[in-house]
């Protein structure tokens, strides 16, 4: 959780964590962190330390496991869901990491997420918005296969159909099931197997 030894810490760890949550929640720049938190260089130092040594990932995984158990489920899921979302970014973002999604008319990033059926994050991969679903999905599917071998099937929408289905079966040994819309569907309707990953509630 941080280096040991030396003088006593000036700022409580709880306040450091609160400051990090504030930045994540509001999206403000580190330098704009309110003065009632620890100085922003201190907060940023802890953030990078905990990120690089795996603390953030371990905390996330532990909390996800607790939520699953509290919901009466096993710690490891057997089914996953994958989706992509194009997100606009500022012009200050390097050109090498942003692109244009012609279908959604969005200039920025394409975020690929794999979740369990509760919507709890299993893997995430961020690429330029110009990257197609069948290409951007491979890394998060691979990471899910390595980190959660209990998952035997992943549900996806029609944007992931085609070669990716064959790749998942032959390379990962896992089924990528495409959840298709009803032939007579008009407009948006909740897909029962996929609502969790998209952040939409079926109710």
Pairing of strands 79-88, 153-156: parallel
Measured distance CA(75)–CA(79) in Å, rounded: 12
CATH class name, domain 75-178: alpha beta
Comparing CA positions, the residue from 172, 150, 173, 175 lying closest to residue 74 is: 150
pLDDT for residue 185 = 58
pLDDT tens per residue, range 125-150: 988 888 888 899 999 999 999 999 99
Residue 143, H or E segment: helix 138-147
Measured distance CA(5)–CA(2) in Å, rounded: 10
What is the residue extent of each domain of the chain?
A: 13-53, 75-178
Do residues 87 and 111 touch, judged by C-beta distance below 8 A? yes
Q: What is the mean pLDDT of the chain?
A: 85
Rounded mean pLDDT, 28-35? 93
Higher pLDDT, 63 or 201: 63
pLDDT for residue 94 = 66
62, 84, 124, 154, 195 from 169: Cα distances, Å: 29, 20, 20, 11, 24
Do residues 68 and 74 touch, judged by C-beta distance below 8 A? yes
Higher pLDDT, 198 or 8: 8
pTM exceeds 0.85: no
Dihedrals phi, psi of 199, to nearest 5 degrees: 85, 5
């Amino acid at each position: 959780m941080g280096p040991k030894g030396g003088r006593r810490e000036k700022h409580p760890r709880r306040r450091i964590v609160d400051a990090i949550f504030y930045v994540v929640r509001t999206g403000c720049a580190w330098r704009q962190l309110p003065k009632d938190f620890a100085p922003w260089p201190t907060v940023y130092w802890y953030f990078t330390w905990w990120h690089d040594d795996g603390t953030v990932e371990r905390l996330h995984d532990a909390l996800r496991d607790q939520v699953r158990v509290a919901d009466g489920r096993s710690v490891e899921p057997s089914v996953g869901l994958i989706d992509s979302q194009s997100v606009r970014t500022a012009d200050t973002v390097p050109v090498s990491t942003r692109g244009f999604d012609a279908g959604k008319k969005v200039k920025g990033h394409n975020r690929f997420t794999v979740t369990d059926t509760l919507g709890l994050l299993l893997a995430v991969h961020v690429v330029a918005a110009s990257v197609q679903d069948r290409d951007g999905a491979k890394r998060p599917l691979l990471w899910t296969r390595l980190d959660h071998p209990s998952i035997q099937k992943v549900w996806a929408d029609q944007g992931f159909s085609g070669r990716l289905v064959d790749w998942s079966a032959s390379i990962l040994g896992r089924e990528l099931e495409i959840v298709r819309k009803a032939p007579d569907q008009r407009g948006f309707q909740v897909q029962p197997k996929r609502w969790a990953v998209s952040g939409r509630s079926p109710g």
